[in-house]
Homo-oligomer: A and B are copies of this chain.
């Protein structure tokens, strides 16, 4: 296509960082959802791009060129534009009128903000879920914690962590609240992939067990306060950048 002849190669190379198969295969972050068989093309593209943004395969600030995305997914620009609107609503992309769409940047302030929002909303969800928590549900949460222990890489650890939170919160039966929490988890996962340190697992898994222990004893207030502290703990470490310089990177570890 002539359109692509003179474009900068940045976006293409970042797309190439993940195999095309992520379109068809179930990506790690989305493995909890049904494989979008009857989704619209727009939804499938949005999910695939979301996975790349969250995993860091596309860098913050990188432009998302609709024609390139359309060509890669074998679609036209119309569903691509719809996918962009969806990513924008999730806070994963920002668009300026007539200046295109970019992957959302993030800084320490946003990490803190997401952590506090998660604390507030997850505590709310937990308080409503608590009366409906059964031993079977708590066992599934414990299994997710074990899966976190066994995980060898960030992605599987992140998935286990997310499963833990989802399992204990879903019984609240508040769909809007759960959707908001999901979006915040997606943001958290972005931060996590950007600044990972393996020893953080230990602390997090300890918190998970303390939460489960409190819930098993019916101590909802204690569980809620551990959850709030757990989600607001911010990890911080230096990360080497492309230029060779280092900068601080931050993440929510829980």
- Residues of A near any B CB (own CB < 8 A): 38-40, 42-43, 78, 81-82, 85-86, 89-91, 97-98, 109-110, 113-114, 116-117, 120-121, 123-124, 128, 174-177, 180
Among A85, A90, A114, max chain B CB count under 10 A is at A85
- In the A-B complex, the 5 residue pairs with the smallest Cβ-Cβ separation, listed nearest first, are A89-B89, A85-B85, A120-B120, A113-B174, A120-B124
Q: How far is the CB of A228 from chain B (nearest CB, A)?
A: 11
On chain B, the residues within 8 Å of A177 by CB distance are 113, 116-117
Instruction: Give the residue name and chain of the B residue nearest to A173 (CB).
Output: B109
> Do A91 and B38 touch (CB < 8 A)?
no
Chain B residue at smallest Cβ distance from A40: B97
Contact of A116 among B38, B85, B124 (CB under 8 A): B124
A177 to B183, CA, bound (A): 12
The reply to whether B85 and A89 contact each other, CB–CB distance below 8 Å, is yes
Q: In the complex the two chains form, is B40's CB within 8 Å of A117's CB?
A: no
The docked-state distance in angstroms from the alpha carbon of A124 to that of B174 is 20
Q: When chains A and B are docked, how far (Å) is the Cα of A18 from the Cα of B78?
A: 30
Contact A117 B85 (CB under 8 A): no
**What CA separation (Å) do A91 and B179 show in the bound complex?**
10
Residues of B within 8 A of A38 (CB): 97
Chain B residues whose C-beta falls within 8 Å of the C-beta of A117 in the assembled complex: 121, 124, 176-177, 180
